[in-house]
Every structure is written in structure tokens, then in C-alpha cells.
Structure 1
């Protein structure tokens, strides 16, 4: 096993116990009872064991909404870093990536090394350890396609173990890790193709931006650069100078409807055009949440309380532009949107981020 890159490990240090807003991309969240950091897998396990039952792990903080009351227990800041090659041959390479490794740093490294499979996931904020939890996906790729195993600390068994990909329960923006506190992700294994070209381009918007047909392949760096441009145009790449990026990215998942529910939606959308939709296995249809939100009357820049708003660039992102709003204000806006879509179309939107000590 060879190191591709790794940062030196330092001793875990207690961190500030100020409001948790400083650790989230939404800049929301009240105080924690205790905040500590961990810089490698052993320290993560040690911190979790010491903390007992009330524990919250934060790495990138890009897919979490923390309530104004904060979190009364221990918050562990996951700061582990590094990537190493486990196995390789002429066609593939399998790499193990630490949970705290910034996701886009990993994607950039795979593109530099000529490893294909993650390039369309460029620009997504957050950490590598969060990706199997949400089964992160964008522009026609999702991590379930390349993850082979997840190394975890099993809090029930009190032991470190491994969950094979087939046992991860991967589904649309979900996995067995999302709603179960039993497992703490320590690192993730990915099997990637050795190729200078991307996987087949599946997403029509990306294909148009690349000037190719759906199913074509393009150089890895071209795919990455184009995805980064598309995401930046929607305020979906973290930028301190862009208030629209004070968000969790897509706040709602695209609803998945059975055939009958989709037909009802089409009838209720009469006169508004055909709802953008993508057929799935078993006769289900995934529908564009952004389209539903917009057609229900919540356009880009739609204002909420305390300065919160829908992004000026993308209707799926709810933002805290000034960084001074409360979590309650953002959730009030989210409820208004959810209820408005339900009233207009009969479709219920569900939040994509994890909600901590708050509800929608």
C-alpha cells in the first residue's frame, strides 16, 4: 500500500465551545456542551467512546442544520486527512480515504492521477466521510457506484469493523448510516477506473455544457472544470465572497413518485408545462424539486424571515446570506416552501440535510 498524499497527524485538541454556527456552511447552530477535535481514526474512536451517548460528529458541516439551542452533548470535529492506494492493476485502482478528507480535494486528486469515477462530483462541499451517509450524487454520478467498503466504528459492538458496499443500503440520497447512530464512518474505499476519460456523461445539462452527446466520454479535467462552472453558476461551490453559498446546497431532495402519483402531478401541473422527470427502476419517477418550488411561486431570491432567502441562483438552495439569521428563521422559510408545493401539486418535499435538535 503506497501513500498518494497524507498530512501529518497532530494530537487531538479541545476546540472552542462557541456556537456551532462557525462549523457549518449555513452559519447556523447554537452552543455545544463540549467540542473536541480528532485528527485520525484512532482519535475519532477514542473521542466517541469518551463522549458516551450524546455525540455529534461534524467534518465539513455542509449538510447539517443545527437548531438554535445547539447540541448539549459532545461535538467531535473530524479532522482526519489522507489517501492511500490499497490495490491497483492496469484497469483499476482502489483507494482508502480518511473521513475528514475534504471531498473536493479527493476529487481533484483523482483527476490529477487519471482515476475516473468521481469527476462529476467536483465542487461538492464537505468531507469524504459524509458521502456514503448521503450517497452523494450529482450530474449523473453517485458515490454508491464506486464505493467498495466503509470502515466504521460500531458503537453497539464497541469495535472497529467494515461494511461492504452491498450492505450499505445505498438508495437515493440515503444509506444505512443516515438515520442510525450505530456507525461512525472512519474511512471509505473507492474503486476507480484507470482512464484519462470520464465515465459516460449521463446528465443532459452537463452534456450540453460540454458540447457532447449523452453517453460520450470527455477528458477528466474537462469534465471537472465544466461541472465546477455549472455548480458555481448555481451558487453551489463554497465562496466566501458569494452570500448564496451560505447554504447546504440542495435543501430538498427530488421527490420519487409512483406512476399514479406522477400522473396526478401532471394533471395538477396542467398549463405549466411538463414537469422535468427521470424514470427509475420499478416504474417510479424522480421529479425535479426545483421545478416544483419555482412553479409553486417560490422563485430565485424569494425572501424569508431574518434575511433568509432562496438562493438568487438556484431555487433548491435556502440561504443565510448575512450569516446572522436563526435556524428557526431558515426552517420557517423551508416550511413555507414545503407547504406551498404540497398545496399546489400534492407532492411532499423532504429535506436533504440532517436536522439536529430542530424539525421541519
Structure 2
């Protein structure tokens, strides 16, 4: 008799999350930084990991206050804050995905609700599902602006009475940034309801000059969490290091639900090494911003709708059969992403060679 695992009913039929991983010359589908680490950084990293390896018979530092302090100082510089964010207001985990999972574990659960605004990052409903949190959405504004206004957010809060609200700046997959006024309005309204606001800033380093970070108002709101990652701008997607800033009571709540010794000694060593090389690792950000704006101008010039992007990717459309366009690009060695509203595609900004290959392929399959 065949054994049927006692899988939770709400998981039956679900597939694991994951974008296609296909070996083609131009990988432009998961918003990675296309530039590998330099030999100098690799040597520094090897030395740091080697030192950490001498103590791998022991559990890692489970509070890693020195790493949290260094990340707090980095965020203060990035957001032009008057002082570093204290270590006790920082937290680190295995990618911003684990940060979000911990936040949902601490503040979600049965009988609680999380609200996001579509189109949104496709993992949000899975964080909710995994923690038995109800997940609801409201629509952002219409294409190509995909605007999110105070009125939309307040109406969604009033309609759904969520415990967690997710706002993303820049938003994935649209690339849209948020104003500080909207963040303040949402945070104040949720504070009155005993709920939290999470601003996901995974792509914040790519924002245009003058576009603010929600970190600017962190001290104003006891219910605000700002999530970041080293995967994108730091070009460390393979290292899986994400982190958050929040008032200490929220950080302490997340610490309650973390797994024992969840951040390995190797991951901590990698993060420290990256902070030693911040200028170098972030050195490609200006180039990627420029390439993003040039790609957006190219797509607009060809008559496509293009969402205004403050990230390292561009959402563009519309296509009667986006799958056919995706496949035709793939046949030419260019992998992008089918994501977002029907008819839209998303391309990550790559190297100059990647970006030119994308342009050439698109012109071949979709002559203007």
C-alpha cells in the first residue's frame, strides 16, 4: 500500500518557489548584480572564512552584535542619517527571505492578516501561508505608473484590518519607489491599530538620487520595520545575508522566533568581509543605474510601456503573448522573467554585454 505523507491540506498541490535557472549566456531574470567579486575581495574573503573555520567545532555567536553594529553604521551612511542605527535595533538572517519569515512568525499566525499591494513580490503570500497567516491584497494604480497612494493604503487598511502591512520600495516587480509621506501615514494609522508596517527595501541602493529611504523616519514610528539585503547591490546573492532595522521591541520579538544559532559563522564572516569592501562591492551601482535608465529609454523609444524604476530591473510591456516573447529571447541566449500583470515582462539590468544582447534579441523578434 502506498504511503501518503500527512502534508498540510493548504500545501497540497503547491510547487516550491523558484525562478527558472537555465544555463544561457545572458542571465537577466532574478535581479542579480552581474559583476562577480574581484580577486582582491576573494582573497580577503578567503582569509576571513579561514579564520572562522578554525572555530567551526563551536556554535556561532548567536547575537552577533558587532555585525549588527556595522550594518547599522552602513545604513546610516546610505540613508544619510545623523547617527548610526544601534546594534540592538538591527537583526540579520539568511537572506531577507528569512527576515520576512521571522517577522511573519512573530507577528502573524492564525487569526491574523497580512496586506500587500499587487503586483508584489511573489514570495509574500508564501510567508503568510507558511505561518498560517491570512494573506490579502489590494491593487496598485494602473499601468504604467503602478502608483500607490495614501488613499489606496488607508482604504486597504480599513477594509482588511491587517496585523502586518507590506510596502515595497522600490517595488518588485514594478520598480516603483514610495514617498516618506506615504510611509508616515501608513505607520501612524497602523500604530493606532496595534499593527506593524514592513517596508521591504531590497533594492534601495539602486534608487535615483534624492529618493528617500524609509530609514529616514525609523525613529518616528515604534511599529516600523525596514528590511534590506546584501544579495543585490553588494553582489552577494550566493551568500544569503539579509537584515532589518526596527525599534528594539520589534527586534527582540523577532529574536524570540529565530532558530538556534541560525546565522552561521561562515555567513557572519562573509558579511564582515563585505563591509570591509563596501566601496568596491557597491562600485557597480552607479553603472547599473545608468544602464537601467538607458534600457528604459530604449524600450520607451520602441513604443513599449515602461514602469518608472528605482531598482536594477525594468518592467515593460505590453505583449499579446508574453510567453512567446520570453521563449524567443531565451532561444537567443537571453533569460528574462515572466512576472507581473498579464502582458508584461521584467528584465534585470546586466553588464553592458548583457544589455546589448537583450536589445539585439528584442529587435530581432519584435521589429519596431
Structure with bigger strand share is 1
Q: TM-score, normalised by structure 2?
A: 0.27
Greater share of helix residues, 1 or 2? 2
